[in-house]
Structure 1
Amino acid sequence: MSRTARLLDLIQILRRHRYPIQGRALAEELSISPRTLYRDIKTLQEQGAKIDGEPGVGYILRPGFMLPPLMFSEEEIEALVLGAKWVSKRTDHRLGAAGRNAIAKISAVLPQDLRETLDVPGLLIGPGDFVAAGDTELALIRQAIRKETKLTITYLTLKEQKSVRTIWPLALAFFDRVRVVVAWCELRQAFRHFRTDRILKLSPSNERYPKRRKVLLKEWRQVEGIPAP
């Protein structure tokens, strides 16, 4: 393994841990000596990585350190581009534009040989139905999810009845034919799923819901029997 690849692996290992990890464990995972590990950590710190810690205590990588895209492997680039292209074709226009912008930014900083991976891709997104309209509403839903604020919606149920609900939006799921809001419903006092094409009216609010979204998502996964990502 080259030293560059080893430094990249070290950064990735540190990113996986939220709490300090012992140098001995890092060295074992990388199959290097503790002395080599300490040199690698010093090198990364000199390059701007915010690694806190010391021998015998453990090390942790603080947020904010960005690796140059040149250090992406070919498969990592393929994964990023495939995901961005899926977003550009299967979500709303604003997210789609963001996906195309991301691809353009990646392409701008890649060396020529890797840029060909973007110009002549070997992984393609298959055809599918684009879910039209509702871009404004989707933007408001995404904003409420980020800010953890309540939404009031007028919803058309499967029985074709209108129902006014106050919901706590937790996530937005994109399927080929529908988009679904995962939310806590104050009316039903339970988790519910709302198709965005059946939301007739949406009113945003600045009122935060009382629990953190992370906690609610964990509870929703437990109720639905969905394993954590």
Structure 2
Amino acid sequence: MTRTHRLFQLMQTLRRLTPPITAQSLAHEMDVSLRTIYRDIDELRGLGAVIDGEAGFGFTLIEDASLPPLGFEDDELEALVLGLRDVSVIADPALAKAATSALAKIQARVPPKQAHRLKHAVLDARRYWRPDPPRIDVGILRQAAWDELSVHFAYQDAKGDQTERTVKPLGIVYMENTNVLLAWCHLRQDFRVFRLDRMDDLRVTDQSFRPHRVSLLRDHLARIRAEVDQVAKDRAHCD
């Protein structure tokens, strides 16, 4: 492994692992000595990388916009193409446009050989049934989730019944051919799933639920996974 390639791999490892990352962990991942890790950390810092921490405490890479891009592995490009093309089909209009724009920017910034590989990627995403378009501004809903502010909206269920809901927005997921909001419902005092194409009159409230979004989302996803696993077990038992 050349020195340049080793520095590149170290940057990638610092990005991939959960910080703070001990020198011992880095040495194990890179299959090099602790001395080499310390020397390479100093080298990266000298090149402009902002790496917080020191020996005995672990290291954290702080991304610096002034650093030049390090490029992508070929498999990483394939993954980006697959993911962004899928987003351009299933996401709300604003996010779909952003995915197409991001793909064009990546293609313009990678080396010519990789740009060709990106343009003519082997992997692709095709969906012949697009989700029904949302009736709300999903960008506002996403921001409310980031800001951890409850939202209020009108909702029409599968039977056509109308209700008013105030919820803690936790995340937006493409599920069962439609985009849904995972949320904690104030009315039901429980987790609920709401289809974006059945929501109207979205309004962001001043009710903060910070810093609980991440933990609530984790619990909500765990419940969904448990329900899916139970359905699979029931089907297997019937077979």
**Interval of TM-score (by shorter of Structure 1 and Structure 2):** 0.7 to 0.9
User: For the structure 1 residues 219 and 38, does the alpha-carbon distance in structure 2 shift closer, same or farther, using more than 3 Å as the test?
Assistant: same
Instruction: Output one character per residue of 1:62-114: Cα deviation in whole Å (capped at 9) or x when no partner.
Output: 42236644431111111112211111122121111111111111111111111
- Using the TM superposition, give the Cα deviation of residue 203 of structure 1 relative to its aligned residue in structure 2, in angstroms: 2.0
Name the SS of the counterpart of 1:194 in structure 2: strand
In the alignment, what sits opposite 1:114?
A: 114
| 1:36 aligned onto 2:36 | yes
TM-score when normalising by structure 2 = 0.84
Name the SS of the counterpart of 1:71 in structure 2: coil
Of the structure 1 ranges 124-133 and 93-102, higher mean CA displacement relative to structure 2 is found in: 124-133
Q: Distance in 2 between matches of 1:211 and 1:53?
A: 26
User: How many residues are aligned here?
Assistant: 224
| 1:185 aligned onto 2:191 | no
In the alignment, what sits opposite 1:134?
A: 134
In the alignment, what sits opposite 2:230?
A: none
Of the structure 1 ranges 106-115 and 214-223, higher mean CA displacement relative to structure 2 is found in: 214-223
Q: Distance in 1 between matches of 2:127 and 2:160?
A: 31
In the alignment, what sits opposite 1:170?
A: 170
Q: Distance in 2 between matches of 1:182 and 1:154?
A: 16
Q: Distance in 2 between matches of 1:221 and 1:140?
A: 22
Instruction: Output one character per residue of 1:161-216: Cα deviation in whole Å (capped at 9) or x when no partner.
Output: 11111111100112463111100000000000011122233222233225521121
- Using the TM superposition, give the Cα deviation of residue 14 of structure 1 relative to its aligned residue in structure 2, in angstroms: 2.5
Q: Is the 1:128–1:176 contact (alpha carbons within 8 Å) kept by the matching residues of 2?
A: no
In the alignment, what sits opposite 2:75?
A: 75
What is the percentage of aligned positions where both structures have the same residue?
A: 35
Name the SS of the counterpart of 1:184 in structure 2: strand
Q: Compute the RMSD of aligned alpha carbons.
A: 2.2
Q: Distance in 2 between matches of 1:74 and 1:38?
A: 29
In the alignment, what sits opposite 1:143?
A: 143
- Using the TM superposition, give the Cα deviation of residue 158 of structure 1 relative to its aligned residue in structure 2, in angstroms: 2.6
Q: Distance in 2 between matches of 1:86 and 1:68?
A: 28
In the alignment, what sits opposite 1:65?
A: 64
Q: Map 1:4-19; keep pairs closer than 5 Å.
A: 4-15=4-15, 16-19=17-20
User: For the structure 1 residues 20 and 124, does the alpha-carbon distance in structure 2 shift closer, same or farther, using more than 3 Å as the test?
Assistant: closer
Instruction: Output one character per residue of 1:18-51: Cα deviation in whole Å (capped at 9) or x when no partner.
Output: 2241x23322321112222222111111122222
Name the SS of the counterpart of 1:130 in structure 2: coil
Q: Distance in 1 between matches of 2:84 and 2:69?
A: 15
Q: Is the 1:129–1:176 contact (alpha carbons within 8 Å) kept by the matching residues of 2?
A: no
TM-score when normalising by structure 1 = 0.87
User: For the structure 1 residues 68 and 223, does the alpha-carbon distance in structure 2 shift closer, same or farther, using more than 3 Å as the test?
Assistant: same
User: For the structure 1 residues 107 and 210, does the alpha-carbon distance in structure 2 shift closer, same or farther, using more than 3 Å as the test?
Assistant: closer
| 1:52 aligned onto 2:52 | yes
In the alignment, what sits opposite 2:237?
A: none
Q: 2:207 is aligned with what amino acid? A: E
